[in-house]
Structure 1
Amino acid sequence: MPRDYRDDPDITIEPIPGLPGALPRGETILWQGRPQPLALARASLGLTWVAGYFALLAVWRVGSLAADLGWAGAMPYALPFLGLGLLACGMLYLVAYVQARATVYTITTERVAMRIGAALTLTVNLPLTRIVSADLGPGPGGTGSISLTPAEGSRLSYAVLWPHIRPWRMREPQPTLRCIEGAEKVAALLGDAATARQSRPELSAAAMAAE
């Protein structure tokens, strides 16, 4: 069941939340979701590494002073490093939270749409017929990410899509539904939708108008 975002105060007024316009006749929303903020901070902003770095600095500082001051006397010297680490991690989480709240991923019977961007909002539409493959990968905290390989000739920008992109694939950017809950079920739903769409014949504009 698609999630209802109509009462979400973080979503601007749109004909359909997460989509730039009304759905064409015959198109149906199958699923909507967004990244899990903490998992996104860990996966795309290195939150775990930053926390570990400052923790390591704190341990090093205490260890270097313990011989002269004793463990009890050296412990307070770890507080500045722990405080800076907490501040840095808090800022990273805030960035991830804002990014996650501004994002809506949508799978319909015709396409995958990604409403992204905290400062400059845009919607990336990927028709199911233009998606070559979808790769499911594990994410932090039990989440998962689904990377989409677009057909050759698709013009996508790594910088514009970040962090909703597969890491380090700069030459051939792969839009990615990052750090979503229930990723396995979503991937199966996407596969079924793509199979159904591929097996459905294209209708010309004249034929559609005649219906």
Structure 2
Amino acid sequence: MEHEDEPVYGLPEVPPAGEHVIWQGSPDWKALAIRAFHVRKLVVYFALMLVLRATVTLADGGTALQALRDVALLMPLPLTGWRWCWRWLRLSARSTVYTLTNRRVVMRIGIVLTLSFNLPFRCIAAADMARAAARHRRHRAGLAGQDRIAYLQLWPHARPWHLRKPQPMLRCVPEPDAVAQLLAAQWSQLNGMAAPAGAAAAQPPAASPLPETALAAH
């Protein structure tokens, strides 16, 4: 059984006195496939590669049968790539656990080497919730921390394209609005500052801030 040595599921140690878990979740693997692993783009890429192979054969004077034979010879390459991508995707979603306590956010990530990142609320500078198209609007929530973590250590649990200052991300979680409200409430309670009213409300745009004002870093 994976992670059987964890004293508490999703946590590297037993929480200290006064700390308790209020939410736990993992990425939706179907949404993760689209948003992080870009499986649709991979399908298009491999399809174009096969079409190009057939086109080149025909352009060189080959018959349709020869074009089909060349495509068949090339087929193991995209199938192998797709298989490894799919396996990595499923393992990534299955091994990831996001935990929200009354004091911090904990991200347990990693397939071969398990890493746990502790993000105390006192060190969190800002939090944002982003949505893609309406059909995926449930699936993504992110948070930015003060301390820097290497982008490659975080991926795919990192905000895309923020390479110089990587931002941890609770990616493709179900019911992100409820998680956002819990995060805002716990941050406000611990830091003694009120989050803006309606900050975590669901909005239809492609990207919208969780708190309307930045949460000051300590």
TM-score w.r.t. the length of structure 2 is: 0.74
CA drift of 1:16 comes to 0.7
Q: 2:22 aligns to what? A: 30
CA distance 1:98–1:166, change in 2 (3 Å):
same
Unmatched tracts of structure 1, length 5 or more: 1-8, 201-211
The question of whether the paired residues in 2 share the 8 Å contact of 1:139 and 1:179 is answered with no
Q: Deviations over 1:141-170 (max 9, x none)?
A: 73522221213xx23222222221112212
CA distance in 2 between partners of 1:54 and 1:79 (Å): 13
| Residue identity matched to 2:52 | W
Give the alignment partner of residue 139 of structure 2, picking from 144, 163, 178.
Answer: 144
Give the alignment partner of residue 47 of structure 1, picking from 39, 45, 48.
Answer: 39
CA drift of 1:77 comes to 4.3
- The structure whose residues are more often helix, as a share, is 1
Q: 1:208 aligns to what? A: none
What SS does the corresponding residue of 2:140 show, helix, strand or coil? strand
CA distance in 2 between partners of 1:124 and 1:41 (Å): 23
What SS does the corresponding residue of 1:115 show, helix, strand or coil? strand
Q: 2:191 aligns to what? A: 198
CA distance in 2 between partners of 1:75 and 1:138 (Å): 42
Considering only aligned residues, what root-mean-square deviation do their CA atoms show, in Å? Answer: 2.6
CA distance in 1 between partners of 2:72 and 2:31 (Å): 26
Structure 1 position 157 matched with structure 2 position 150 = yes
Matched residues, percent identical? 36
CA distance in 2 between partners of 1:53 and 1:80 (Å): 17
Q: Number of residues paired by the alignment?
A: 190
**Which deviates more, 80-89 or 137-146?**
137-146
The question of whether the paired residues in 1 share the 8 Å contact of 2:128 and 2:142 is answered with yes
Unmatched tracts of structure 2, length 5 or more: 194-218
TM-score w.r.t. the length of structure 1 is: 0.76
